[in-house]
Amino acid sequence: MSDSVTVLYFAGLREQVGRESETVTLAPDVQTVKDFLAVLRQQDAAFNTVFSQFPRMRVAVNKVMGDLSTAVQNGDEIAFFPPMTGG
């Protein structure tokens, strides 16, 4: 099993982070989406701005919608979506 996760960024997030996907090594103490976001924010200052929106952001782990408490593990795919508006 891989010791990393695949991270996907959709819509406006893709432009904000400057890439549509990446592979990130999963630290041993990361167990939830919240833990994972904390690591991302420490590794790249740009993520502080991007993920400060998280209360309105959506996340899916392995194509299943989740939240900050959703478990993550090696080999997972974590996808982040910006808030959607209706109209």
Q: What tens digit of pLDDT does each residue of 35-86 get? A: 998 888 888 777 887 777 666 789 999 999 999 999 999 999 999 988 775 5
H-assigned helices in 44-78: 45-51
Task: Write down the architecture of domain 4-81 according to CATH.
Answer: Roll (3.10)
Parse the chain into domains and list their residue ranges: 4-81
What pTM was estimated for this model as a whole?
0.88
Spatial strand order of the sheet with 21-25 comes to: 21-25, 4-9, 77-81, 58-61, 64-66
Q: List Cβ neighbours of 55 (8 Å cut-off, separation of 6 or more).
A: none
